[in-house]
Amino acid sequence: MAPASQATRIELRHLRAAIAAADCGSLRQASELLVVRHSVLSRLISQLEHLVGATLFERSSAGVVPTVAGRSVLCISRTILEQVEAMLATARSSGRGEAGRLSIGFCTSISAGNLRATIIEFKKGVPQVELAPIERPRALLMSALRNGTLDIAIVPGQTPLSDAKTLPVWSERTLAFVPNDHPLATREIIYWTDLRGQTVLLSEHDPGNDLEDLLVSKLVTDEHRPTIERHDVSRGIIKSLISMGLGIGLAMESDVGASFAGLVYRELHDGAGPSRIGFYARWLHDNENPALKRFLNLLAERYPSPPPVLVE
C-alpha cells in the first residue's frame, strides 16, 4: 500500500489516464480519447504506478493489459471517479435548489387549494428536495422562522415580523359547514347575519383565530353573534360533533378536500359578496437556502396578481 504522503499526491487525472488505458487497451488510443499527447498519458500512468508501488499494466506491442494489482486499483479508481462525479452533481443540484431540504410552515388545511397545488408542483419539479411540512399556530411558526428551524411560513393575515420578508400569494373564501339536514344546508350562500342564534363549534387546537376574528368583525355586537363553543378536541372531532347536529363550523376553502360524511360546505357572504382572507409567505431575508429561492420563484410565477385583500 502506498504511504499516506504518496497517496495524497495521486490526482484524478492519474486515475482517468489508467481507466482510459484499460478501456481502450492501447495507450495511443487512450491518449486520443482524453485529447492528450501519448507521452503525457504514458507519464501519468507511470507516475500512478510509482505512487501506488505496483505495476498496473503489462505492456506489449499489442497494447496494454491490466495486471492483478492493476485490476484492483482500476476498480477502486472507477469508484472514486463515480463518487466525485456524484458529489459534483449533488453540489450543482443543491446550488440550483434541485436537492436539499425545505421546511414549509402553515396553519391551515392542505387537503385542497393553492398551497396543496403549489407543493405538488414544486415536488414534481424538484423531486430530490426533501419537503418538511410543519403545521403550528401562527405565533409558533413565526418563532420557528426567527430561530432558523423553518424556511418559509405561509399564513393568513399580515402578522408583523420585522426581520422577515413578505410576499402576498392568494386569498381563500370563508365557508360554513353544516349538517345535511340543517336549515342552512338548503341555501347555496349563507350570510354572516344568518349565523345569529346558531352555535359555532371551534377546536382549541385550531392553529389560528382568523375565522373567529372575522366572525367578530362581521357581527360586531354580542347580541348579533352566534354562541361560540371551543372544545379540547381535534378539528376532525369537531366535524363529528357537527354531523351529530350539535352546531355548525367555520372553515377556509382549502379545507373542502377533507370531506366528511353528513356535512356540506356553503360560502359565507356579506353585502359586498364572498368574504376572503389573504395569505402571505414569510421568510428571513438572510436565508440562503437554494431550495427556498426556487420555491419563492414558483410562488411568484403562480401568483403574480395584485396582493389579496385581507378581510377585517
Length of the chain: 312
Per-residue pLDDT of the chain in tens (312 residues, 90 and over written 9): 555 556 668 889 999 999 999 999 999 999 999 889 999 999 999 999 999 999 999 999 889 999 999 999 999 998 888 888 777 766 665 555 556 889 999 988 888 889 999 999 999 998 888 889 988 888 888 888 888 889 999 998 776 667 788 899 999 999 999 999 999 999 999 999 999 889 999 888 776 678 888 888 888 777 778 988 999 888 889 999 999 999 999 998 888 887 788 999 999 998 889 999 899 999 998 888 888 999 999 999 999 865 444 443
Distance CA(115)–CA(109), nearest Å, equals 9
Three-class HEC string of 169-195: EEEEEEEEEEECCCHHHHCCEEEHHHH
Given a contact cutoff of 8 angstroms between Cβ atoms, the answer to whether 165 and 282 are in contact is yes
> In whole angstroms, what separates CA 128 from the centre of its chain?
10
The pTM of this model reads 0.64
How many other C-beta atoms are found inside a 10 Å radius of the C-beta of residue 282? 21
Beta bridge partners of 200: 228, 248
C-beta of residue 14 within 8 angstroms of C-beta of residue 51: yes
Domains in the chain and their CATH numbers?
A: 4-95 (1.10.10.10), 100-170+279-302 (3.40.190.10), 171-276 (3.40.190.10)
> CA-to-CA distance for 58 and 78, rounded, in angstroms?
19
Q: Which of 181, 254, 268, 189 lies closest to 226 in space, CA to CA?
A: 268
Q: What is the pLDDT of residue 97?
A: 53
Q: In 10 A of CB 45, how many CB atoms?
A: 22
| Grid coordinates of 10 | 495521486
Residues 6 or more apart from 135 whose CB is under 8 A from it?
Answer: 105, 106, 107, 207
Nearest to 104 by CA among 155, 65, 58: 155
pLDDT value at residue 312 = 38
